Every structure is written in structure tokens, then in C-alpha cells.
Amino acid sequence: MKSLKNLIGCLALLSFMFASCSDDKTEISTLVYPSVVSTSITNGATGVSVNKDTIQITFDRKVFVVYKDSFKLNGVSAVSATADGKVISVILPALAKGTTYSFRVGKYAVKTDSATVGAVFTTPYTISFTTEVPTVSDSVETSLVTTNPTTQAVKLYSYLKECYGSKMLSATMANVNWNTTEADWVYTNTGKYPAINCFDFIHIPYSPANWINYNNTQVVEDWWNNGGIVACMWHWLMLANDGTSYSYEPGTGSAQTSFDVSKISDTSSDEYKKVMQNIDTIANHLLVLQNKGIPIIWRPLHEAAGNTNTYTNGTAWFWWGAKGPTAFKALWKLMFNEFNAKGVRNLIWVWTSECNDSDWYPGDNYVDIIGCDDYSTGDQLHGSRLSSFNKLKTIVNGNKIITMSECGGIPNPTTTFSDGATWSWFMPWYGDYTESSSYNGASYWKTAMSSSNVITRSDLPSFK
């Protein structure tokens, strides 16, 4: 009897299990899986922004996330996946420019109300897309070399970086010193002001005088307050050999200077003391502008190599390059460190290259922008100067903004970009270089300033 009862119990249990299995089979066989209606990034899309961090998948019915790791981008699991009704939002891993991606939804990634396990597709659902093409500015340093730069300097540099590769800023050079003479001439002849005006501290040994007074910053303030960008350079004068005049030209002639920059490494030398005195004088003037909230594109010690690397018996044109690259770089770093020590924080540092002088480069930690002064003539008067651009790019490995810090003829704004010479700005020298039709003149300035590739003062945002 006991055996018969056990047999009956086992048969009953088997019958229950079979019935249960049959019910499950019926449920699974009648289950309707959800379908994808759309995705926020379409299959085959190109030029997708790398700032796009989320993709949304819309289904034809309410769904739930089962496995976050079943959502993959090029094999890497999604950061997160959350459902809201028919839509699942997937936060993607970081995107890189110029990259093709495959986004995959695994077949067990989501489920419906009635599904006991995730089961959406018989095969995974996949789309592909390609991100935006990299630009020349992508490789450029994002931070200034100055310690704790001012807010205005950061804003200005960020704008220069944003424009780099797609636009050129227009600029003029002050007629010798502390004025906007050439910028005013451009406005008179074109109806537009250049974006940048560059001032020169060349006459600092004579100031203050009735004809030059760097203590009066009104002209700089007016330019800034009217929406312009301020740049400054320094033709650094030292006492000439005649003992009364001043010169930046090295040599033994009476109107030249024998100042020996190589001696500044000796802190007890007269040369070191003189250099420090001059640097502190300029620093104090820059601090006045800093206190007024004015950032400065700062281009000191320009063209240091001269033609020393161009000709067999080439020479430096200025005393700061007369003793070679080692002494020059020591002077640059001395100025940089002294400015930092004095709290000058409103500068964007520009080093001017001769395009063949990588041994003169002060280093990435001391330079924000690299430029060259190009006075090409003939068919290159308004040419792109692509060769010079590429040489500068090689010197800094593409990590710095590249600019035409001085020029004779303004590069053609159309062909320059099509050639790939994406100069940050152009700045003709004052006088004939700006005003004469032999170089630019009113007609060519009108052409340049009306180009969609050129930024004028009225195009600038506020950096305050």
C-alpha cells in the first residue's frame, strides 16, 4: 500500500510540473517583444558632436532596463541606462573627434511588463555613427602659462582658441608708440575698426615727457572700453655707445649698444641690475592695466634670432639676440618669472620666431602663442605663407596657436584658409605697410575687413 501511495504521489507531482511547464511555454510563445521606433542619433549619422553624451532609444511600448552592461559603445559598457515609459536614455562613454562608433543594444538589454527575463531581439540592435572632424585648435593648449591668470585674460585666450582654425582677427600696429593712429585710419577707410591694436613701449626711457607719457593709459583704456583687444610689444632700448642716446641695435658704433645680455646670469653684474630695473618698470605699467581689468597680448623680445640661422654670417638684429639662444632664453625666463613674482597675471605670451630657430624657443611652459613676422613680396604679398605656418607648427608640435604677428601685405582671407594656413591674426606694420597700396591700402583693407573669415572690433564679444 505504501508503495502504491508513493507512486500515486509521484504521478501527481509530475502532472503538476508538466502543467506548469505547459503554462510557461504558452506565455513565452504569446509574448510580443518591443520594437525600436527611433534613436536620437540616427544610423549612419556623421558630424556628431563629441559633447553628445546621451543617446535615447524610443520603443513602441513601455520597457524596463534589465542589464546596463548590455548597452555598449565600441564594446565598452554604457555609463548608465534608465527607462522612462517607452524611452530609454543611455549615457555614453566619452566620445573622440573623427571616430566611427558602433552602438549596440544586446538582445537581453530590456524587457516589457510581461517578460520575466530580458528578451527584445533575436539578434542585437546596432547603429553606427561618426563624430565631428577634428580642428586645428583641438591640439592647442587649453590653459595659459601665466600663474593664476586674470579672468579677462582667460576669456580672451579662450576666444582666440575658439576662433583659431576658422577665423582671422584683424590688427593694426600703433604708429611708433602709444596711439591708435593706424586703427583710426582703417576705420576711416573701411567703416570698421580692427579687432586688435598693438602698442609699443619703445620710448619708455623718455617717459614721462610732453610727447610720450606711458603713465597716461587713457588711450589704451578707450580702446578696451570700446570693445577692442589690447596687444603690447617692447622695442627694448639700452644706452647707446655714445652715452646719451638709446638703441636696440647691437654693435660697437656710436648709435649702437654694446649691452651684453649674456652677463645677466651673474646677479651681481651691472647688466643684471639694469635688466631687472627695466623689467620692473614695464611690469608696473602692465599692473596698472591689469588693475583696470585689461588683458594684454604680450609680445616681447621679438625676432631674437634675426638671420643667424638663415645665412652663414647671419647676425641678430637686436641686442637681446646678439649673444645667441642660451642668453636669449635666459632673458625671456627672467622676465617671465619676475612678472609672475610681481603679480602680473593679465598676459598672453607671444614668442616671435624666424621659422628656422627652434633652438631659440623658450619652451612650452613660457609661451602661449607662436608668431612670425612675414614681409613677403611679389606673388606672396597677399599669399597664405603656408610654408612659414607649417614651420612654426613643427616647432611647437601643433600645441600652440600660430599667428602672423607682423606682416607687410595682409594674407588673402579666402585662399589662406583654403590653403590651411590658419593664422590667428594678421598685423601690418604702421605707415606705408598699412596705408600704401604698394602693400595694402584702402582698397585691400576693404576687401579684408568685409571677408566672413575676418573678425573686426564690432564682431568681438565682451571679455570683461
Q: Please choose, from the candidates 322, 357, 241, the residue with its C-alpha nearest in 3D space to the C-alpha of residue 331.
A: 322
- The answer to whether residue 221 is catalytic is no
- The answer to whether residue 406 is catalytic is yes
* Three cell numbers written together for 68: 546596463
- CA torsion 398→329→198→418, rounded to 10°? -20
Q: E strand or H helix at 340, and its extent?
A: helix 325-341
* Three cell numbers written together for 54: 546621451
**Which residue has 590667428 as its cell numbers?**
424
Residues across the chain: 464
Tell me the Ramachandran region of residue 251: left when phi exceeds 0, alpha when psi lies from -120 to 50, beta otherwise: left
CB hemisphere CA count around 152 (13 angstroms): 22
Task: Read off the DSSP letter of residue 258.
Answer: -
Among residues 182, 354, 406, 435, which one is catalytic? 406
Q: Are strands 369-374 and 347-353 parallel, antiparallel or unpaired?
A: parallel
For residues 121 and 34, is the Cβ–Cβ distance under 8 A?
Answer: no
* Residue 454: strand pairing partners: 168
Among residues 182, 303, 354, 435, which one is catalytic? 303
Cβ-in-10-Å burial (0-12, 13-18, 19+) of 114 comes to exposed
Residue 51 vs residues 71, 95, 246: alpha-carbon distances, Å: 19, 7, 55
For residues 81 and 96, is the Cβ–Cβ distance under 8 A?
Answer: no
Determine the angle formed by the axes of helices 325-341 and 270-291, rounding to 10 degrees: 50
Catalytic residue list: 303, 406
